[in-house]
């Protein structure tokens, strides 16, 4: 298989569509860029924007008028946690006249962008807080704080006043004790229901567990890519048994449980807590 031209490979790394300015910052000279276009390795889409011939047409149409990916459409590419893939592309635009069936975000950009057609992490988080449902925004924001890409204080300062009360509540819900999106979801779900939650707790003879609810019940979470095989099944049984012997019964939940039937999860956990207590 023939290797890609280095410029085409670099453009492909950022979704197949990239600003020429980013290529120049990466060390590719204008002569090499023009040569790659002449050879058909990349395509000139408009002034200052190039793409690979097989780039995603939806993303290309979002970027063609000068927009940038933002909110949940940029979060994963920026290394942030997300709950689910967006049903529509979220794009920042200068004036709101951006054509196409996209979710459009406006306003001044505040953060310093890296390479790629994405807003900065700070802007991505602010757009998510203003746009997405509370839990989805919390997951994105907490992962950014965990990465030390933004701070709670910075977000609160940029969301002043009573009119931002709901958005400020999202920021105030950010914790520092979750190791995955599922832990953020479960922790918030249980605390909102009035339950005491500790995450990433070590228990003698058992090791680290995802969380303990009301100091008496272990809750373990199986993530997006969870697949049961015999080894993991056997290990889970051992951990469940060890938990019971240590005085902590265990409930286990999947991503689907927390996202699609949260009321059922809370009811089961409350019932288990009452019986253990």
Q: What is the pLDDT of residues 95-137, one digit of tens each?
A: 666 667 788 898 899 998 888 889 999 999 999 999 999 999 9
- Residues 131, 191, single domain; the answer is no
The pLDDT score that the predictor gives to residue 227 is 45
Asked if 167 and 187 sit in the same domain, the reply is no
Instruction: Give the H or E element holding residue 261.
Output: none
pTM assigned to the model: 0.81
* Residue 236 is assigned to a structural domain of this protein: yes
Report the chain's C-alpha Rg in angstroms. 23
What is the distance between the alpha carbons of residues 270 and 277, in angstroms, rounded to a whole number? 10
**Is there a domain that residue 208 lies in?**
yes
The domain that holds 210 is classified in CATH as 3.40.960.10
**Parallel/antiparallel/unpaired status of strands 217-222 and 250-254:** parallel
Query: Does 11 share its domain with 31?
Result: yes
One domain for residues 45 and 72: no
Q: How far apart are CA 114 and CA 204, in angstroms?
A: 44
User: What is the model's pLDDT at position 190?
Assistant: 94
What are the backbone dihedrals phi and psi of residue 149, each rounded to the nearest 5 degrees, phi first? -85, -25
State residue 80's pLDDT score: 95
Give the pLDDT confidence score for residue 185 in this predicted structure.
92
* Residue that terminates a domain, selected from 144, 172, 200: 172
Among the candidates 172, 190, 207, a domain finishes at: 172
For residue 61, is it within any domain? no
Domain stop point among 172, 193, 221: 172
Report pLDDT for 229.
Answer: 47
Residue ranges for the chain with pLDDT beneath 50: 1, 226-230, 233
How many domains does the chain divide into? 3
Distance CA 73, CA 87 (A): 9
Asked if residue 89 belongs to a domain, the reply is yes
Domain that holds residue 186: 181-276
Q: Considering the domain boundaries, does residue 60 fall inside one?
A: no
Is 1 within the bounds of a domain?
Answer: no
């Amino acid at each position: 298989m023939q290797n890609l031209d280095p410029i085409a490979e670099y453009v492909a790394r950022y979704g197949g569509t990239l600003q020429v300015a980013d290529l120049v910052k990466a060390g590719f000279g204008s002569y090499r860029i023009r040569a790659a276009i002449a050879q058909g390795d990349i395509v000139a889409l408009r002034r200052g924007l190039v793409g690979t011939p097989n780039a995603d047409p939806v993303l290309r149409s979002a970027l063609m008028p000068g927009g940038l990916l933002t909110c949940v459409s940029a979060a994963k590419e920026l290394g942030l946690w997300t709950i689910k893939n967006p049903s529509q592309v979220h794009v920042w635009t200068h004036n709101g006249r951006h054509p196409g069936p996209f979710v459009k975000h406006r306003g001044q950009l505040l953060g310093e962008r890296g390479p790629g057609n994405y807003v900065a992490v700070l802007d991505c988080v602010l757009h998510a807080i203003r746009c997405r449902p509370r839990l989805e925004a919390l997951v994105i924001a907490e992962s950014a704080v965990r990465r030390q890409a933004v701070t709670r204080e910075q977000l609160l300062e940029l969301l002043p006043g009573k009119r931002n009360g709901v958005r400020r509540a999202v920021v105030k819900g950010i914790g520092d004790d979750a190791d995955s999106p599922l832990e953020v979801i479960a922790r918030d779900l249980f605390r909102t229901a009035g339950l005491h939650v500790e995450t990433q707790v070590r228990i003698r003879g058992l090791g680290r567990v995802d969380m303990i609810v009301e100091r008496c019940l272990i809750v373990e979470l199986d993530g997006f890519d969870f697949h049961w095989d015999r080894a993991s099944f056997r290990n889970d049984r051992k951990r469940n048994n060890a938990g019971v012997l240590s005085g902590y019964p265990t409930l286990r939940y999947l991503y689907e449980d927390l996202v699609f039937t949260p009321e059922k999860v809370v009811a089961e956990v409350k019932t288990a807590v009452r019986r253990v207590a």
